[in-house]
């Protein structure tokens, strides 16, 4: 049986939660987002590729929001470092692990979209390429778990 692709959303959000203290980390914008600031919303977006070994090269959209522009910018830049380090350190989840990180774009401020930007909401968005590998592949390649 071929390995099943790891859950990239779970790996990315778990890695961000593990290292970002004081921020809410979600896959989707919550209805009560204003009560959850500072907020990081990270999820896989269309694009990327996979192979028969279950290796997934995914594009991940990361949006960081706060009530202050500098705080939102800082959170976005810190989230980038956290995700890059999680890939470098092969952050492990229940069904796979992260292994590579690459900047695609950002972080940059966005003032359009939903929720609407305003004097108490600032958002920064970035796109990263991460590689996720199933645990079975790690065992095969490295002879360890």
CATH class of residue range 8-142: alpha beta
- How would DSSP label each residue in 21-49? TT-EEESS--TTGGGG-SEEEEEEEEEEE
Per-residue pLDDT tens over the stretch 72-106: 999 999 999 999 999 999 999 999 999 999 999 98
pTM for this entry: 0.90
Q: Which residues of the chain have pLDDT under 70?
A: 1, 137-145
Residue 19 backbone class (left: φ over 0; alpha: ψ -120 to 50; beta: rest): alpha
Write the CA distances from 67 to 36, 39, 71, 101, 114, integer angstroms. 11, 10, 7, 28, 15
């Amino acid at each position: 049986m071929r390995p099943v692709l790891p859950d990239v959303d779970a790996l990315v959000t778990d890695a961000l939660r593990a290292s970002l203290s004081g921020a809410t980390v979600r896959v989707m914008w919550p209805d009560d987002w204003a009560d959850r600031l500072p907020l990081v919303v990270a999820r896989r977006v269309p694009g990327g590729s996979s192979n028969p070994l279950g290796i997934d090269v995914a594009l991940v959209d990361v949006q960081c929001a706060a009530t202050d522009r500098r705080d939102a910018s800082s959170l976005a830049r810190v989230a980038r470092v956290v995700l890059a380090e999680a890939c470098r350190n092969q952050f492990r989840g229940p069904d796979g692990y992260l292994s590579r990180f690459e900047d695609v774009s950002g972080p940059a401020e966005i003032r359009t979209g939903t929720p609407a930007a305003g004097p108490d909401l600032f958002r920064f968005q970035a796109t990263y390429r991460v590689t996720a590998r199933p645990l079975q592949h790690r065992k095969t390649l490295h002879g360890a778990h």
